[in-house]
Chain A
Amino acid sequence: MKKSKSFWGYCLLALVIYAVVQLSISMQLLDLYYQNMLITMCINIMLAVSLHIVIGITGQFSIGHAGFLAVGAYLSAVATMKLGLPFPIAILIGAVVAALAGLLVGIPTLRLKGDYLAIATLGFAEIIRIVFLNVDYVGGAAGMVVNHMSTWTYAFIGVVITILVISNFTNSRHGRGCIAIREDEIAADAMGINTTYYKVIAFAIGSFFAGLAGAIYAHNFYIIQPTTFGFLKSFDILIYVVLGGLGSLSGSVLAAILLTVVSTYLANFPETRMIIYSLVLIIVMLYRPTGLMGTKEITDLFKIGKKGGSKA
C-alpha cells in the first residue's frame, strides 16, 4: 500500500512539472530558446534512461545506442513526411522498428562480453548509419527535411512513459534477473535465469525507447542527417549513464538534465565549449568516481537506512 502511495506521489510530481512548464509556455514566459532546451532535455533523458537499462541494469556495455536513435528518427520521419501518417502513430512506428532493430542486433552480439560487445554494437550502429546515408529515399547524405511537430507535451509524455516502464521493469522479477546478470552472469545462469533471453529483452526495451526519443528528436530539428547519429552521439548518451552512476535511473536522469543545461549555455562560447564540457566531466569523475548517484536512487536519500528503494 505504501508503494502505491509513493507511486501516486510521483504522478502528482510529474503532473505539477508538466503543468508549470505548460502554463509558462502558454503565458509566453518561456521563449522558443528555452522551450527547445526543455525538449532537448526530455530527449536526452529518454536516451539516458533507455541506455541505463542496457548498461546500468543488465551490465551489457553497448556503445551503439545512436543507431537505434537513428532508426526511430528516420522511420518516424518517413511515416509523417512520406506516408502522411499522424505524429503519434509515427512515434510508435519509430519505436517499434527500433525495438526490432534492437532484437536483430542483440541476438548475435549479446553472446559477446565486455570490450567485444562494445566494438560489435559500435559496428552495428555504424552500419545502420551508413544504410541511411546510402538510401536516396530518405535523402542520403543531404538529410531529410522534417516538419516541426514535437511539442513539450509529446516530449514530456515520452519521458514519463520511458521512466515508468523501465522502473517498473527493473522492480520486478525480470529486472532482478537482469541485475543478477550484471552482478554475476554464471551465478545468474546457475540460479535458473535465462541470461540470453533477458539480455536481448533489455536490449530491445532500450532500443524501443531510443527509437521513441529518435521520433521526437526528428520532429524537433527540421532536418535529420546521418552524420548526427555517428558514434559521438552514442558516446554522449554513454556519458549521461556513466556520469549519473551505473545502475541508477535517477542518476542518469540527473546527468542528462545537468549536461543538457551545461551544453546549452556553453553554446554561447563556441571556442571553449568542448574544453569546459570536458572539464566538467573530468571534475565530476574525479570527485564522484562512481557517478553522481553511485548505484543509489534519489528516492533512497529520503528513506535513510532502507536499501534497495523502488521507484513505483
Chain B
Amino acid sequence: MTNNLLIKAENVGIQFGGLKAVQNVNMYLNKGELIGLIGPNGAGKTTTFNMLTGVYQPTEGAITFDGKKINGLKPYQVTKLGISRTFQNIRLFKDLSVLDNVKVANHNLAKHSIVSSIFRLPSHFSGEKKMEEESLAFLKIFGLDVYKDELAKNLPYGMQRRLEIARALAANPKLLLLDEPAAGMNPQETHDLMELIAFIRKEFGLTILLIEHDMHLVMGICERIYVLDHGQLIADGTPTEIRNNPKVIEAYLGEEVVD
C-alpha cells in the first residue's frame, strides 16, 4: 500500500484567528483512485482543497505528496509537483481566448527563457508551437476546439466548467482536485461530465479528489468517500457504507427523533 500512496494528510488543521475551520483531517489517496469529499455547506471542503494546493498554509499537521512534504510550499510549486485544481466559483482568465487559457496552464511544459522570447530565438518558436499543439489536443478532448478563439467569458456556463477542467489538466497533474464540477449543471450535462471524468482518469492515469453536492454523481463514480462536517472528518468508506452511516445521515438531515 505504501508505494501506491500518492497523497497523505495527517492531522491537518487550520485556524483563522479564533476559528478552527478544519481540524484533525486524516486522509490518503492511492494512485489511480477517484475519491469523493462531501459534507454540508460550510463543512470545510474547499478549505481542505485550499490547504492541499498551498493557497492556505495549514496551521497544524503535515501533507505529503509523492513522498515529499508539501505544506509550506506556494501554490505554483505545488502545481509543478503535480497537483492541479478547478475552482468552485469559476476562475477562468475571462479576457483571454479559450486556447490561451489552456496555454497559461501549459506554462511549464515549454522551457524557453524570457531572453529567447524577446529576441525570438528558435527555442521560442519550437516551445510555443509545442504549447499550442498540446493545448489544442486538450481542447479537442473536451470538445472545446471549435471555441478556441472565443473569449472565455463568452462561453456558455457548462462549457466554462469544462474549460476549467481542461485547463487544470493542461498543468500536467498527477492528482486532480475538482471543486464542485457539476454545480449548476442540468442532469444531462452532469451525466456527460461523469463520463468525461471517467475518461480523462483512464486516459491520463489520474488520481482524482472530487467535491460534489450531487449525490447521484458522487455515489455513482467514487470508490471511496470522505465526509466532512463542522471542519472534522466524520466518516469515510465506500458509497454504500456512507449511505448507511448514521453520523452522515445526521449531518445532512439532522438527528432522529426518538420518543
Contacts and interface: CB of A to CB of B under 8 A. Distances in A.
A304 to B, nearest CB: 12
Contacts of A184: 91-94
Contact of B85 (A177, A190, A247, A295): A190
B37 interface: no
Contacts of A194: 74, 76
B114 A247 contact: no
Interface stretch (B23-31, B95-103, B199-207, B212-220): B95-103
Interface stretch (A23-31, A66-74, A89-97, A167-175): A167-175
A177 B168 CA distance: 15
A308 B93 CA distance: 13
Nearest to A172: B117
B151 interface: yes
Contact of B76 (A173, A192, A308): A192
B149 A174 contact: no
A173 B95 contact: no
A78 to B, nearest CB: 28
B87 interface: yes
Interface residues of A, number: 30
B155 interface: no
A179 B97 CA distance: 12
B84 A190 contact: yes
Contacts of B110: 173
A115 interface: no
A117 B76 CA distance: 22
Interface stretch (B120-128, B185-193, B239-247): B120-128
Contacts of A133: none
Interface residues of B, number: 41
A177 B192 CA distance: 31
A186 B128 CA distance: 24
Contact of A306 (B55, B103, B112, B149): B149
Contacts of A295: 95
Interface string A280-312: 000000000000000100000000001110001
B171 A173 contact: no
Interface string A69-111: 0000000000000000000000000000000000000000000
A169 B114 contact: yes
B107 A173 contact: yes
A107 to B, nearest CB: 15
A180 B108 CA distance: 14
A189 interface: yes
Contact of A188 (B87, B104, B149): B104
Contacts of B79: 189-192
B48 interface: no
Interface in B102-142: 103-108, 110, 112, 114, 117-120, 124, 127-128, 131
B74 A180 contact: no
A193 interface: yes
B86 to A, nearest CB: 9
Contacts of A176: 96, 100, 103-104, 107
A165 B105 contact: no
A176 B55 CA distance: 21
Contacts of B120: 168, 312
A21 B164 CA distance: 50
Interface string B64-102: 000000000011100110001101000111111100100
B128 A177 contact: no
Contacts of A192: 76, 79-80, 84, 105, 107-108, 171
B97 A308 contact: yes
A111 to B, nearest CB: 12
Identify which of A165, A186, A189, A247 gathers the most chain B CB atoms within 10 Å of its CB. Answer: A189
A163 to B, nearest CB: 12
A168 B118 contact: yes
A263 B93 CA distance: 37
Contacts of A201: 114
A307 B97 contact: yes
A265 to B, nearest CB: 35
30 contacts: A165-B118, A168-B118, A168-B119, A169-B118, A172-B112, A172-B114, A173-B107, A173-B128, A175-B117, A176-B107, A179-B96, A179-B100, A180-B93, A180-B96, A183-B93, A183-B96, A184-B93, A186-B87, A187-B93, A189-B55, A190-B53, A190-B87, A191-B79, A191-B84, A191-B104, A191-B105, A191-B171, A295-B95, A307-B151, A308-B96
List 3 tightest A-B contacts by C-beta distance, closest first: A172-B117, A183-B93, A192-B79
Interface of B: 53, 55, 74-76, 79-80, 84-85, 87, 91-97, 100, 103-108, 110, 112, 114, 117-120, 124, 127-128, 131, 149-151, 167-168, 171
